[in-house]
Structure 1
Amino acid sequence: MRIAYFSPLPPQRSGISDYSAELLPYLAQRAEVELIVEDGFQPDAALGSAFPVRSLTEFERRWRRYDVCLYQVGNSILHAFIYKTLASYPGITVLHEVFLHHGIADSTAWRGDFAGYVREMGYSYGMEGVRIAWAVRRGERPYPLFTHPLNERVLDLSLGVIVHSAYARDHVLARRPHLPVAHIAHGVTLPPPMPDGRARLGLPEEALIVGSFGLVTPEKQMGLALRAFAHLRARRPEAMYLVVGEVLASHPPLMPLIAELGLQESVHFTGRVPDLVTFMAYIAATDIAINLRYPTVGETSGSLLRVMAGGVPAIVTDAGWYQELPEGTCLKLPPEADEAALAAALQTLADDVNRRQQIGATAREYIAQTHRWEDAANAYLAFIRDVLTG
């Protein structure tokens, strides 16, 4: 099978870039894969040396040579060229988030093409969508980012769809009941033990370390997490909070809240770390992870899966995909949980080393059994064959 593979790729800053970099070697064991990129873009040296890389212009001259186009689609501007290509060359779409509204708005209205946004809203929701779009333009309402998925055109252009959760599968089938859909677990690489992680990172061995991982967006509720952490630190002065990942440029400033809470010496931002080894070293150095996400856009959290693979207990929001995580693999809080509830959950784990170890071990075993890259690649190819053969 010859696959034309479309995705953000390293060095582009995207969780889906990282996902593709790990999935591709397993797909390549069973299929011929060529990477299709925007004209002028070059993936990093590791991928560029391992796979044929074709520009979009070159692909358009040779598209008949492929058996299928495989599109990795997410909710960001990095997928704009993929979205446009899908319209001309239907294929199998991997839908990493159910909601694509942020990405489509970013590629249209937020870049001066409001007419393009109106067309997308009209396609998906008819005249009601057009009325909503113009109400946004007049400042009468905010963008409906979490109520209108704006994924309908992608679904209609796809021969079949792969998702990473039952939540996403059910959403797609509710809108397009006859569309072939496969639920394939997001792969994760189990990291080796890193007993010297804190020493390598210059972190104190005696500290209780709380961590949050991945891109910091408003939905991750960092304000709530910081206020809850302040309660913990009042009882555990040695506690530290590591925020490992880039803070979204449009995120409200966090430093004023940190100063208000008196946490300047205990909260540390790393920014985006240079590589996966460093990212996993920070996870290994962490005692408790906080991975809140509400409202959800139907995503599966790659950063949480890495935390679980690292054997670190995590506190999560019991919504969307997180609801599917088995009991005992994490500590779940309802979406309406407040500062007191999160502080209590933090304190519970901080006070009980055995419970932390038990949750971490259960989480790692769950990942080892259900999120193998080899299984994901096999399921991809089986689904593609089923779709192509009807």
Structure 2
Amino acid sequence: MRHLRIAWAGPWNERSAIAAFGQGMAEELTARGHEVTVLRTELGAGAGLPPRPAPGAVHRIEALDDGAIERGFDVLVAQIGDNHGFHGALLDRISPLMTVGVFHDAFILNLAVQHVLASEDDAALRRLVRAVHGEEGLHEGEPIWTDLAEVARRRPMLEWLARRCAGAVAHAAHYAPRLAAACPGPTATIPLAFEVPDLPPPPARWNRMTVAAIGHANPNRQLDQVITAIGASGALRERCRLRVIGAADAAERERLTALAALLGVDPPEFTGWVSDEDLRWRLRDVDAIACLRNPVLEGASASVILALSSGRPTLVTNHGCYAELPGDTVLACRPEAEALDAMRHLEWVQANPADAAGLGARGQALARTRHSFHAYADALLPLLEEVVRGRPRREARVRLASILKDFGLGPDDAAAGRVGAVVDAMGLDPAKVEKARQIAAPAFRAAD
């Protein structure tokens, strides 16, 4: 395999799970002999966060112009997520010549909304959404935001960026077909890699149970369903508590605390954002971890991989990427019946500690193999190689399309199609591409 000069574009701070993934991958790819340069894509407050360690250089993406990126790297691996503060600086730098988009989220409407409204108005946003998803995606006069599950189904906006990439990666099968249909280049489905070493082992059994939820306490994480499950069970109500390890908005804290009071259970414990070291300490007495999501907006979940890695019984909602986990490694809850199924599962964990430990061990083994950085690199590198091999052909198409445009011929003109077919037939030899450009330009000038 050839030595690759890789630009790794994405967030690079301690608060981003995508950055943690990037750090592990940069180290793995560097260990295999490739050169990895990090291009940070945060905006606003995110841009001011201290950088993570890196095996190579780290730059702000704005510090390099398009020409420097095209000349300096073979491929740009772009981390695409729905957080504009972490990914916003990337959006104008996606190049169809060399960008492989790694789509961490299956829903990026928030990203599109904040990007457009930063410089344009609501009418421009509506035009963009309709250009991507058509009339069915956004009816005339319909609000952009309605029921979240309906919005995620009809206007996830993946195609907005996938169409601009030279290749794309999905982290699970549930959204891979959308990427494959939109991206003009090769695509791959690769399970997300996430490794957290030195996690504390599950605690010894006693007469109390702590259930943790890890990550930002968004409403789609179904924490109210976990509280309802505890409150509905006589076996759990006096013995079980919820710990939320991650940021939580004041309104969500108030809502969940009020629900716990109504059901007569202990109020949830909110830790706020914690460092990697503090996360380990907060897990020391955790018996089970809840990773419920409804609707599923993520492509895959770093928190569920962390939960499996910890060896603890893990609750998931049985759809999206969570349904793709082997059934003997997680405790699956039916969508729209999460509270009932979570109650039954937690009662089972409480009553069957040996079987629960076996489930946790199987999940841990899965995380260490399927979700390792080594396995991810094995799958990613062939895709990067394919995109790099195809770059001369894409460059030839861009150059010849520019010539045609000078003569008033748009991309839908029959002549453009014939030129594209010739480029494809020539193969990938850059010398042939340049020779075709030199031959084509005088011919078109003479015709003019």
Give the TM-score normalised by the residue count of structure 1: 0.86
The amino acid of 2:19's aligned partner reads S
Q: 2:35 aligns with which of 15, 20, 32?
A: 32
The residue number in structure 1 matching 2:278 is 278
CA gap 1:297/1:57 in 2 versus in 1, 3 angstroms: closer
Task: Tell me how far 1:193 sits from its aligned partner.
Answer: 5.7
Q: 2:187 aligns with which of 181, 196, 215?
A: 181
Mapping of residues 188-207 of structure 1, within 5 Å: 188-189=194-195, 191-192=197-198, 194=200, 207=208
Task: Tell me how far 1:298 sits from its aligned partner.
Answer: 4.4
Q: Which stretch of structure 1 is more off in the superposition, 287-296 or 100-109?
A: 100-109
Q: 1:14 aligns with which of 9, 13, 16?
A: 16
* Equivalent residues of 1:310, 1:364 under 8 A apart: yes
CA gap 1:87/1:116 in 2 versus in 1, 3 angstroms: farther
Task: Tell me how far 1:383 sits from its aligned partner.
Answer: 1.3
CA gap 1:339/1:111 in 2 versus in 1, 3 angstroms: farther
Which deviations, in whole Å up to 9, do the C-alpha atoms of 1:103-137 show, x marking residues without a partner? 212333488732331232132023555645x4217
Q: Which stretch of structure 1 is more off in the superposition, 306-315 or 107-116?
A: 107-116
What is the percent sequence identity of the aligned residues?
23
The amino acid of 1:164's aligned partner reads H
The residue number in structure 2 matching 1:246 is 247
The amino acid of 2:326's aligned partner reads P
Distance (whole Å) between structure 2 residues aligned to residue 385 and residue 162 of structure 1: 14
Matched residue SS, 2:92:
helix
CA gap 1:103/1:343 in 2 versus in 1, 3 angstroms: same
Task: Tell me how far 1:256 sits from its aligned partner.
Answer: 1.7
Are 2:161 and 1:160 aligned?
no
The amino acid of 1:223's aligned partner reads D
* Equivalent residues of 1:96, 1:164 under 8 A apart: yes
The amino acid of 1:211's aligned partner reads A
Mapping of residues 325-340 of structure 1, within 5 Å: 325-340=325-340
The residue number in structure 1 matching 2:364 is 364
Matched residue SS, 2:175:
helix
Distance (whole Å) between structure 1 residues aligned to residue 255 and residue 120 of structure 2: 26
The residue number in structure 2 matching 1:118 is 126
The residue number in structure 1 matching 2:89 is 81
The amino acid of 2:58's aligned partner reads V
CA gap 1:384/1:358 in 2 versus in 1, 3 angstroms: same
* Equivalent residues of 1:191, 1:280 under 8 A apart: no
Which deviations, in whole Å up to 9, do the C-alpha atoms of 1:251-278 show, x marking residues without a partner? 4732221222233x452111111x2232
Mapping of residues 193-342 of structure 1, within 5 Å: 194=200, 207-232=208-233, 235=236, 237-248=238-249, 251=252, 253-263=255-265, 265=266, 267-273=268-274, 275-342=275-342
* Equivalent residues of 1:208, 1:239 under 8 A apart: yes
The amino acid of 2:257's aligned partner reads M
The residue number in structure 2 matching 1:69 is 76
Task: Tell me how far 1:179 sits from its aligned partner.
Answer: 3.7
* Equivalent residues of 2:210, 2:241 under 8 A apart: yes
Task: Tell me how far 1:303 sits from its aligned partner.
Answer: 0.5
* Equivalent residues of 1:73, 1:95 under 8 A apart: yes
* Equivalent residues of 1:283, 1:307 under 8 A apart: no
Distance (whole Å) between structure 2 residues aligned to residue 142 and residue 187 of structure 1: 31
Matched residue SS, 2:111:
helix
CA gap 1:277/1:333 in 2 versus in 1, 3 angstroms: same
CA gap 1:284/1:218 in 2 versus in 1, 3 angstroms: same
Mapping of residues 129-148 of structure 1, within 5 Å: 129=137, 131-132=139-140, 134-136=141-143, 145-147=151-153, 148=155
* Equivalent residues of 2:256, 2:268 under 8 A apart: no
Q: Which stretch of structure 1 is more off in the superposition, 254-263 or 295-304?
A: 254-263
Distance (whole Å) between structure 2 residues aligned to residue 131 and residue 67 of structure 1: 42
Task: Tell me how far 1:142 sits from its aligned partner.
Answer: 5.9
Matched residue SS, 1:135:
coil
Q: Which stretch of structure 1 is more off in the superposition, 34-43 or 324-333?
A: 34-43
CA gap 1:339/1:205 in 2 versus in 1, 3 angstroms: closer
CA gap 1:107/1:248 in 2 versus in 1, 3 angstroms: farther
Matched residue SS, 2:134:
helix
The residue number in structure 2 matching 1:59 is 64
Distance (whole Å) between structure 1 residues aligned to residue 92 and residue 251 of structure 2: 26
Matched residue SS, 2:259:
helix
The residue number in structure 2 matching 1:101 is 109
Which deviations, in whole Å up to 9, do the C-alpha atoms of 1:166-192 show, x marking residues without a partner? 22323323x338641112221132533
Distance (whole Å) between structure 2 residues aligned to residue 244 and residue 18 of structure 1: 17
Distance (whole Å) between structure 2 residues aligned to residue 124 and residue 193 of structure 1: 43
Which deviations, in whole Å up to 9, do the C-alpha atoms of 1:319-374 show, x marking residues without a partner? 01111101210011110215333212221221110121011011011112211112
* Equivalent residues of 2:369, 2:375 under 8 A apart: no
* Equivalent residues of 1:223, 1:257 under 8 A apart: yes
Distance (whole Å) between structure 1 residues aligned to residue 80 and residue 251 of structure 2: 22
* Equivalent residues of 1:120, 1:150 under 8 A apart: no
Unaligned runs of 5+ in 1: none
Q: CA RMSD in A?
A: 2.9
- Pick the structure with greater CA Rg: 2
Distance (whole Å) between structure 2 residues aligned to residue 250 and residue 151 of structure 1: 29
Unaligned runs of 5+ in 2: 391-448
CA gap 1:198/1:361 in 2 versus in 1, 3 angstroms: closer
Which deviations, in whole Å up to 9, do the C-alpha atoms of 1:270-311 show, x marking residues without a partner? 1111x2232234334311111110111242110010010110
* Equivalent residues of 1:109, 1:115 under 8 A apart: no
Q: Which stretch of structure 1 is more off in the superposition, 21-30 or 246-255?
A: 246-255
* Equivalent residues of 2:214, 2:244 under 8 A apart: yes
Distance (whole Å) between structure 2 residues aligned to residue 261 and residue 159 of structure 1: 52
Distance (whole Å) between structure 2 residues aligned to residue 17 and residue 249 of structure 1: 26
Are 2:11 and 1:4 aligned?
no
